[in-house]
Amino acid sequence: MSDEENKELIYRNNRELHYGFDPEKGYVARVDYQYHGNQTIIQQGWDAAEDRLKEVSVKISAGKLSPLAWHMEKNLMELPMLSAYTGIMKWRIKRHLKPGIFKKLKPGLLGRYGSVFNITIEELKNPPIN
């Protein structure tokens, strides 16, 4: 990897084993960070998640979605997965995404959501939206 390309690297947490093919030398293996092209596509995945989170935040501020939607997006979860983790039916979760219904939820149910997201009920009700 050239120095210039190295400067562009976003993720330097861990080196991995990469296989490769050099037309001259044949097959090679080396331990290094992901090369910058791969880092770009990894970042795209996270950027898209961030954009979705912003969209949801706007909708919550406008009173169109409940805070639950923010935590789902923050944890990259969709309905079927959240349903599997909480054991709450999908149609019920859908109802809980409505602000009016979410406000009336009992602590027991809120606690179940909280434990899956690993947060308190207070945090569940008040996601950090500016």
Partner 1 sequence: MTELNFEHRQAGHCESGVTSNLLNYHKLSLSEPMAFGIGAGLFFSYLPFLKMQHAPVTSFRVWPGMVFSRTTKVLGIKTHIYRFRDPKASMDKLDEVLAQGFPVGLQVGTFHLPFFPPEYRMHYNMHNMVVYGKTDDFYLISDTVMEQKVRISYDDLMRVRFAKGAFAPRGRMYYPYSFPSSFDLKHAIIKGIRKTAGNMVRVPFPLIGTKGIRYLAKQMRQWPEKLGEDKASYYLGQVLRMEEEVGTAGAGFRFIYGTFLDEAGTFLKQDWIKEVAVEMGHTANYWRQFSYLGSRNCKKRSGPGQSFDELADMLMECADREEKIFRNLVKIR
- Buried b / exposed e over 22-40, threshold 16 CB at 10 Å, is eeeeeeeeeeebbebeebe
**Binding test (CB under 8 A) with partner 1, winner from 1, 58, 76, 129:** 76
CB of 34 to partner 1, least distance (A): 8
Q: Degrees (nearest 5) of the Cα angle 71, 75, 79?
A: 80
- Residue closer to partner 1 by CB (options 43, 126) is 43
Question: 61 — phi, psi (to 5°)?
Answer: -60, -35
**Binding test (CB under 8 A) with partner 1, winner from 41, 104, 106, 108:** 41
- Residue closer to partner 1 by CB (options 77, 101) is 77
- Residue closer to partner 1 by CB (options 13, 130) is 13
Rg over alpha carbons for the chain, rounded to the nearest Å, is 21
CA separation for the pair 76, 22 (Å, rounded)? 38
Interface residues with partner 1 (CB under 8 A) are 10-11, 13-21, 23, 26-27, 29, 31, 34, 37-38, 40-48, 52, 75-77, 80-81, 84-85
